[in-house]
Each structure stands twice: as C-alpha cells, then as structure tokens.
Amino acid sequence: MQKKIVAVSLFTLFFLATAALVAEIYVRATHKGSYLTGLMKRDAVFHHIPPPYYEGTMSSPGDFDIYFRTNNRGMRGPGDYNYEKPEGVFRIAVMGDSFTFGVGVDADKTASYLLGELLDNEEPGRYEVLNFGVNSYSPILEYAYLKNEVIRYDPDMVIVMLDISDIQDDYLYEPHIVYAPGGEVIACDPMRVRGKPDFKALCMKYSRLCYVMETKLFDSFRKMAVIGFRNYMANKFTGRRNKTEILTNRDIDNIYFDRFLMFREGKNEKVVARHWSRTAKYIKMIKGYLDGRGIRFILVTYPYGHQVGERQWQKGRAYWAFEPGKVYDAGKGFSVISDFAKENDIGFINLYGAMLAGKDSTLYFDSDGHWTEAGQAAAGRAIFDSNVFRKNLE
C-alpha cells in the first residue's frame, strides 16, 4: 500500500511538472512582451535602469515605428555622457519617466534635447542639458538615482518632470525600498520586499508563466476583492469591463489599478490625499538633498491628451475608462501640486497652458498616448520660456 502511495505521488509530481513545463513553453511562444522589455533591466539600487548602448525598436501600430539606441550610460543623450563637467558650462539634468525618455520620437526630438538647442542658440557652449529620463521612473526612484548617479555629473540645476501617474508608481515601488540603519533611503531593489527576498518577483523573473499568471489571473482575483464576486460576474455576463467599474468608482481606493487616480474627476479627496502624500514626501526629499548641495531644483508637470483636447489620444484613452471626444478637467489635480510647490518653496512649471495652446496640433500619439514630436517641442519651448526657468539660470 505504501509503495502504491509513493508511486502515485511521484506520478502526480511528474505530471504537474510536465504540465508546468508545457505551459511555460506555450506562454513563451505566444506571449509577447512590451517593445521596451529589453530596456527594463532589473537593478538592486535603481529598481531598473537601461543598459549602455542598447539598440531596439519602439513601435505602436498607427503611431510610430522607430529605431533607438542608448548611450554609454543607458540614456538617450545627446551623445555619450562624461562625469566631468566642462569648465564654464552650466549643466542641467532632466529627470523623469517615459515622456522624458522620449517614447515614440528620435533622441534629438525630445524636450530635453530641444531645450538644450534653444539654450545653445541663445548662448553657444554655455549650457549642457542631459536627459536622465527612464521609463516608469517616479520620485521614489528618481531620489535613489539622483543620490547614486546623477549627482556624479555635478549638475547646476535638476529638473524633475512629474508625471500625473507617478503616485501609482511610488505606491508600487515603496515596498521595495532599501533603508540604511538610520532609516535613510539608499536603494529600491525589485527582488526584495520590506527588506526580505521577494519570492514572487523571483518566480516572475525566471518564469514567463508566473508573469502571465500574476498579470492576468491574479489581477482578476484582485478585481473581485475590490468590487465583490457578484459584481465581477455580473459585469462578465453583461459585457461591462470590470476595470471600468473599478476606475470610475469615486470612493474605493483603486491605486493598484488606476494610474490616473489623482486626476479622476470627482474622486474622493481623502483617497487622493493619502497617495499624493507619499509622492510629495519623496519630492521634498529630492529638494532637501539638492538644497544641501546648493543645486537649483525645478518641478515640472504636464497633462495627458484627454485633458487637453477632444481629438488628443483618442484611441488609447478608452482603456483607462475615458470617453472619446471629451476634455477632462485637470485643474483640481494641478492645483494640489501647485500649492504643494508653493508651500515648500519649489520652483514649479505647469505645462498645462502650453499644451492647451497647441491643442489643434497632434501633441499626443493616438493609441500610445505619449508626446509626438509636436508635443515634445511644445514642452521644451514652454520650459525655456518659463519665468521660473529663466530666473534659475541667473
């Protein structure tokens, strides 16, 4: 009897292992990652960072299909970066996420590059603008990146491009923060959570099957937990997207699902304040770090297409439960950021007005939602023309 039990157990284990292997092979053959997957290299300090001299293609059907290459530091340039600053040069470091990186446009069409050109036209050789934009970065990662890398370039000014989705990124990254014994943030390690090895992250790193299960199957369970099993199933039968109900519910704390929580019209202010306070804390840490070194700091923020014009970002907005042909009010969210900057003596530039002024042009890719060349140009010009920026050049 005991031998039979052992034999059945071994067969079961063999069957499960074989099934898992077959499923892994199938998923790897059929599941396509993002076109930027190769750019997202895990890093024990910065969470993720682009590798040097990475070559790839950015592609979004109907939007763009372009080749790109990173420089010696994994950035988009201009050119290779040297830690040593040329004598007499005023160096500006621009930090941000994929908008700053320049998804969908060539490196010489990014706002950072164009800002450098405008400055060079005014005073040739006097200024240098370095683009440190990294996809999916937010203040929590920018603080770690600033302390451990960007500061080595001896910048005279740091510009942080605050994306309105950064409060979700900060929420997701915070459990991975690594602290020094005194409580100082020193890194963000994607393979550790609350100071311990992250078994789930380890599985997702080596198994495409685990990754798909986490992002598909387990996400469904999370949706059930948020709206209830009955509502979840009712939506399935009626054809209503469960994510739409989660995104448009004003009272639930849906930060895990909603990149635009801070700017949802009518969203419960207590929910917004809870998560904005996290991001605000990291922005203040950036300011404190720069103030201690006499480095000028400017915070820049900007709207998305659905907040600018009826025809901006038409196709892609539906995924996030925004109606086509409607312009959403962004004033309340931006006033929160503006008030915060004023209270903390932070130079602040809001690109909302500049984008509204150019709404008759195509500033955002229709499906992807990032800035087109026109959007990048509008951003670069608006920063250059800003009184806040000009004052900090003095």
pLDDT in tens, 293-335: 999 999 999 999 999 999 999 999 999 999 999 999 999 999 9
Q: Tell me the two tokens of residue 58.
A: 């950015």
Residues 6+ apart with CB under 8 A from 241: 235, 321
DSSP 8-state secondary structure symbol assigned to residue 217:
I
Residue 23 is predicted with a pLDDT of 63
Q: Tell me the two tokens of residue 180.
A: 């020094």
Cα distances (angstroms) measured from residue 378 to each of 93, 169, 363, 364, 373:
19, 25, 8, 11, 9
Inter-residue contact 332 to 195 (CB < 8 Å): no
Residues 6+ apart with CB under 8 A from 205: 42, 191
Query: Rounded distance, CA 52 to CA 50, Å?
Result: 7
Q: Which residues of the chain have pLDDT under 70?
A: 1, 6, 8, 16-17, 19-21, 23-24, 26-39
Max Cα distance, the chain (Å): 89
- Secondary structure class of 260 (helix, strand, coil): coil
Q: How do residues 261-293 score in pLDDT, each as one tens digit? A: 999 999 999 999 999 999 999 999 999 999 999
Angle at 42 (CA atoms; ends 181, 165), nearest 5 degrees: 85
Phi and psi at residue 260, to the nearest 5°: -110, 20
Residue 236 is predicted with a pLDDT of 84
CB burial class (10 A; 0-12, 13-18, 19+) of residue 172? middle
Query: Rounded distance, CA 40 to CA 137, Å?
Result: 11
Residues 6+ apart with CB under 8 A from 275: 167, 168, 170, 171, 255, 261, 262
Helices (H), the chain: 2-30, 98-101, 111-122, 139-148, 166-173, 199-206, 208-212, 218-227, 229-238, 242-248, 269-291, 331-343, 352-357, 373-385, 387-393
Query: Rounded distance, CA 267 to CA 51, Å?
Result: 39
What is the signed CA dihedral for 106, 109, 112, 117, rounded to 10 degrees? 130
* Burial state string for 182-212 with b = 16 or more CB within 10 A and e = fewer than 16: eeebebbbbebeeeeebeebeebeebbbbbb
Q: Is the peptide bond before 78 cis (omega within 30 degrees of 0)?
A: yes
Does the domain at residues 31-206+259-393 carry the CATH identifier 3.40.50.1110?
A: yes
Give domain limits for the chain: 1-30, 31-206+259-393
- Secondary structure class of 62 (helix, strand, coil): coil
Residues 6+ apart with CB under 8 A from 249: 227
Q: Tell me the two tokens of residue 273.
A: 């304040």
Q: What is the pTM of this model?
A: 0.91
Neighbour count for residue 313 (Cβ, 10 Å): 25
Inter-residue contact 67 to 57 (CB < 8 Å): yes
Considering only CA atoms, give the Rg of the chain. Answer: 23
Identify which of 100, 35, 106, 96 has the alpha carbon closest to the alpha carbon of residue 69: 106
Identify which of 142, 28, 9, 160 has the alpha carbon closest to the alpha carbon of residue 94: 160
Q: Tell me the two tokens of residue 59.
A: 């592609």
Residue 218 is predicted with a pLDDT of 77
Query: Rounded distance, CA 142 to CA 97, Å?
Result: 9
